Structure 1
Amino acid sequence: MPVAAVLAGGIVGAVVATTFMGSSNEPPEVKIAAQAPQIAEKTPEQDQVQLEEKQTNVAVAAYAQPQAPTVEELTKTVSVGKGDTLMKVLTRAGADRSESHQAIAALTEVFDPRDLKIGQDVTLQFSTDDADLTKDSVVPSLMSVSLNEAVDRQLAAIRTPGAGFTAQETVLELDKSLVRAGGVIQNSLFLTAAQAGIPTKTIIDLIRIFSYDVDFQREIQPGDSFEVYFERFSDDTGRILKDGAIHWATMTLSGKEISVYRFKTADDGFTDYYDAKGRSVKKTLMRTPIDGARLTSGFGKRKHPTLGYTKMHRGVDFGARSGTPIMAAGNGVVEVAGRNGGYGNYVRIRHNGSYKTAYAHMKKFAKGVRKGSRVKQGQIIGYVGTTGRSTGPHLHYEVHRGGKQINPLSVKLPAGRKLGGKMLTAFREHSKKLNTEVANTALETQLASSD
């Protein structure tokens, strides 16, 4: 029994067991000291059991300890969907509604939440520093919200301990260069320019600049050519991030060359495009208030496609995909914006004492377009549809002069500003400088695309 006690009780049991063993000539304390090292030794089996117990305890402790979220779990990027508001985006990502409201309030100092675009990415940063990690459900705190308003402008609302959210704006410094690109038109200006790598925004700007003088449905022929001299912006690695304004452009139509120059007039501070003689390319009205459309029906008598008999067609029809933007042909005030019988969704704009324009069969109206609202030339007022008496998506476009409908494609429109005196002299010097720059810049027929 004493020996069993030693094995079961360890060193303390050994001391007790020694006291009750047979007599010895050595003092008890000496025998204890001599025997203690022998009693403390363990068998290999005991060592293995103790090691396994320690490993089990460590594993249990590790399992019981709450695991902190990784950095990836603390950062979320959400893409804006149709009908989303910034509040919806943040709360869908798991942010507390109250914290989301505070972040949005701060962000409005540098960004209008109504400008949020479908497909835009919003990045949220969370923190669990103040959260109770022993609870089953951990609610992290929103620390920042950031988004790119443009490729060179990042906006954020950042939380500062004890001070709430503050707005932050970061603008990248980009390198500006001017490139010259062009080509020979094979089918349409848009397709030829796109195949040459010219960005869509620049092509649309080019069409708008020339739309006052050029009928893109009838005047452009295969073999005509164009050139455009415009801005490109890149970062310090040379990566192209965005494209800017057109400084000069030219079109050669059936051998006739038309050139335009971007010029800012000092007396009023306005920037516009002028021809080689210093005349503004702008007219009272645009001939084509829609981009990338085809003329499907002209002005005059025709057999009506739905009524089946000959009827006067008092406008022109442009066939385009449903949802294509429709622009105001000129500055003016909206007289009508609503349903109008066979016209379907209809807008009529009064431009001055003589001219009005009308737009029919719209799918829907642009935001803010209503009776009495003011619109600017080129402003989107609605979208192509097939409402009313219509066989397919198209824009029916009318021009009214003195209360009478006239042919939009043949009407001679009043010209814009014509420069004179010192302003004309300044323009001539400017256009001469631009001509030299263009001549010294290589013509690109295939551009690298911007990101």
Structure 2
Amino acid sequence: MKSGALVGPFGKSLLIPVMTLIAGGAVGALLATTFLTSSSDIPSSSLSMEESQEAPGAPLEAAASKPEESDEIEASEVLEKEAEVTVAAYATPKTESLQEMTKTVSVSKGDTLMEVLTRAGADRTESHEAITALNEIFDPRSLRIGQDITLYFGNADDIQQSDAATPSLIRVSLNEDVDRQLAAVRTPGSGFTAQETILELDKKMVRAGGVIDSSLFLSAAQAGIPTKTIVDLIRIFSYDVDFQREIQPGDSFEVYFERFADENGNILKDGSILWASMTLSGKKLSVYRFKTEDDGFTDYYDEKGQSVKKTLMRTPIDGARLTSGFGKRKHPTLGYTKMHRGVDFGARSGTPIMAAGNGTVEFAARNGGYGNYVRIRHNSEFKTAYAHMSKFAKGIRKGARVRQGQIIGYVGSTGRSTGPHLHYEVHKSDRQINPLSVKLPAGRKLGGKMLAAFQSRSEQIRQEVASVELETQLASVKAD
């Protein structure tokens, strides 16, 4: 009866939970056995306390479960490859390939060499060192507008660079002339040193000439004679020839001068005049270039060994016309007769005006009716004055020393003037005299052994001239 009672409603209610517990335990045991069996070959991914103590600060991800061994190896290789790719993508390229570069800059008006270099990106200190080296072979003040300067940047072995992205200045180079190349080059342990390279050019002698139709300058230019040679020719004869009054249509000229070419025959520069002649109203004047060994000076001499140089040039301007002479005249602006204490040369505004002789500028400023005015003291006896200039040449100021033929200003119409012209005066013992009639002291006259040496040299030049064909139209200078 008691056992039957247990099988009743109360017994049934107790039996169901017991059986559920037994079934759940069996299933749990089965799952545990299956899990332990399948994971028995996988090493534990957990860090022991001892390992944890040996590797303090290890990331928390290190304690995460690891996949199966094959998957782990493949994942490790992929990660390593990705790491290699990442490093390669962000690694700095080799310094040499990144930083080697060349820059060429042109000199602008008012530029100094320091400004040119720093504008191109050179460090100021390195620029100063390079300029200091160049000073040994080059005057930085002689920079020309438009002149190219080349800078080379790279790695300097003799300095410690704090910024690998900033290259150092390793070379500065420029062409001082077509056949003279200059550079400042950095050398390890020595800073910058100067280098000069002289190019070998082929010299060719040219004989050219023509008939004068209007002015010597225009006729020579039409014959293809380079401007530099024409200017030299005019200066040589300006001591004896009045280009405004003595040259007549039909007069002629010849010049024998040097030209220099590269290996391809391209004319790169024109050299000195060795001989020149002018035939004026049937009278021939010839001059020869000659260096006197006793003092080392080179000058031009006539056939008798007399230097063509005088204290002063007859006319300090070329291509002008005489518009007013020395003496009394009716003043063009004041309207009454007044003494004209100089001569006037009419010329285009901007025509260069040359110093009539070596000397010192004692006045260069605005001077009343004279406008822009320059006065030069040549010696204790002679002075010359130049008026109505449009502007002064660079460097012309009180106290400046000038050489004969140097450009001191430009034709203009400043002051009391009716048009562009040069008013030119010659002062002798502080008294104005006629520039066209003044007798000027001559230069050196050769004698003795020096005269004999000159006569031998002049004869050699005459033979050379006779052997070269006269050209009346020179070919244009070839471009590089």
Change (3 A) 1:413 1:163: closer
Aligned to 1:207: 234
| Cα deviation digits, residues 80-126 of structure 1 (max 9, x gap) | 01000001101111111111111111111111111111111000111
Change (3 A) 1:78 1:312: same
Q: Among residues 392, 403, 408, which one is paired with 1:364 in the alignment?
A: 392
Aligned to 2:316: 289
| 2: CA distance, partners of 1:246 / 1:416 | 19
Aligned to 2:10: none
**Superposition deviation, residue 339 in structure 1:** 3.1
Q: Among residues 88, 91, 100, which one is paired with 2:118 in the alignment?
A: 91
In the TM superposition, 1:215-230 aligns within 5 A as 215-230=242-257
| 2: CA distance, partners of 1:150 / 1:223 | 38
Classify the secondary structure of the residue corresponding to 1:437: helix
Classify the secondary structure of the residue corresponding to 2:416: coil
| 1: CA distance, partners of 2:409 / 2:346 | 15
**Superposition deviation, residue 366 in structure 1:** 4.1
Aligned to 2:63: none
- Indicate whether 1:415 and 2:466 are aligned: no
Q: Among residues 253, 275, 298, which one is paired with 2:280 in the alignment?
A: 253
Q: Greater Rg, structure 1 or structure 2?
A: 2
| 1: CA distance, partners of 2:283 / 2:478 | 32
Q: Among residues 294, 302, 316, which one is paired with 2:343 in the alignment?
A: 316
Q: Which moved more, 1:113-122 or 1:171-180?
A: 171-180
| 2: CA distance, partners of 1:269 / 1:109 | 24
Q: Which moved more, 1:428-437 or 1:409-418?
A: 409-418
Q: Which moved more, 1:192-201 or 1:379-388?
A: 379-388
Contact 2:134 2:183 in 1 (8 A): yes
One-letter amino acid matched to 2:395: K
Contact 2:276 2:288 in 1 (8 A): yes
Aligned to 1:3: none
Q: Which moved more, 1:436-445 or 1:63-72?
A: 63-72
Q: Among residues 404, 415, 434, which one is paired with 1:377 in the alignment?
A: 404
Aligned to 2:151: 124
Aligned to 2:353: 326
| 2: CA distance, partners of 1:397 / 1:63 | 77
- Indicate whether 1:155 and 2:203 are aligned: no
Change (3 A) 1:294 1:124: farther
One-letter amino acid matched to 1:347: V
**TM-score, normalisation: structure 1:** 0.79
One-letter amino acid matched to 2:207: R
Aligned to 1:425: 452
Q: Which moved more, 1:85-94 or 1:272-281?
A: 272-281
Contact 1:90 1:100 in 2 (8 A): yes
Q: Name stretches of at least 5 consecutive residues in structure 1 with no aligned partner.
A: 1-15, 20-39, 41-55
Q: Which moved more, 1:188-197 or 1:436-445?
A: 188-197
Aligned to 1:263: 290
What is the aligned residue count? 405
| 2: CA distance, partners of 1:218 / 1:82 | 39
Aligned to 2:21: none
One-letter amino acid matched to 1:257: K
Contact 1:332 1:352 in 2 (8 A): yes
Q: Among residues 328, 340, 354, which one is paired with 1:301 in the alignment?
A: 328
| Cα deviation digits, residues 271-306 of structure 1 (max 9, x gap) | 211112222211221011123434343323344343
Change (3 A) 1:221 1:92: same
One-letter amino acid matched to 2:216: L
Classify the secondary structure of the residue corresponding to 2:274: strand
Classify the secondary structure of the residue corresponding to 1:226: strand
One-letter amino acid matched to 1:364: F
| 1: CA distance, partners of 2:340 / 2:470 | 44
Contact 2:322 2:343 in 1 (8 A): yes
Using the aligned pairs only, state the percent identity: 74
**Superposition deviation, residue 254 in structure 1:** 1.9
Classify the secondary structure of the residue corresponding to 1:280: coil
**Superposition deviation, residue 256 in structure 1:** 1.5
- Indicate whether 1:349 and 2:386 are aligned: no
**Superposition deviation, residue 210 in structure 1:** 0.5
**Superposition deviation, residue 128 in structure 1:** 5.7
Contact 1:196 1:447 in 2 (8 A): yes
Aligned to 2:211: 184
Contact 2:100 2:152 in 1 (8 A): no
- Indicate whether 1:340 and 2:346 are aligned: no
| 2: CA distance, partners of 1:311 / 1:425 | 53
Q: Name stretches of at least 5 consecutive residues in structure 2 with no aligned partner.
A: 1-37, 42-69, 71-81
| 2: CA distance, partners of 1:296 / 1:71 | 67
One-letter amino acid matched to 2:140: P
**Superposition deviation, residue 213 in structure 1:** 1.3
| 1: CA distance, partners of 2:327 / 2:97 | 71
One-letter amino acid matched to 2:363: V
Change (3 A) 1:307 1:71: farther
Q: Among residues 103, 106, 114, which one is paired with 2:130 in the alignment?
A: 103
| 1: CA distance, partners of 2:219 / 2:87 | 69
Contact 2:307 2:445 in 1 (8 A): yes
Aligned to 2:423: 396
RMSD value, Cα: 3.3
Aligned to 1:278: 305
**Superposition deviation, residue 235 in structure 1:** 2.4
Contact 1:303 1:310 in 2 (8 A): yes
- Indicate whether 1:139 and 2:166 are aligned: yes
**Superposition deviation, residue 58 in structure 1:** 11
Contact 1:366 1:383 in 2 (8 A): no
**Superposition deviation, residue 253 in structure 1:** 1.4
Change (3 A) 1:353 1:109: closer
| 1: CA distance, partners of 2:451 / 2:298 | 14
| Cα deviation digits, residues 18-59 of structure 1 (max 9, x gap) | x9xxxxxxxxxxxxxxxxxxxx9xxxxxxxxxxxxxxx9999
One-letter amino acid matched to 2:398: R
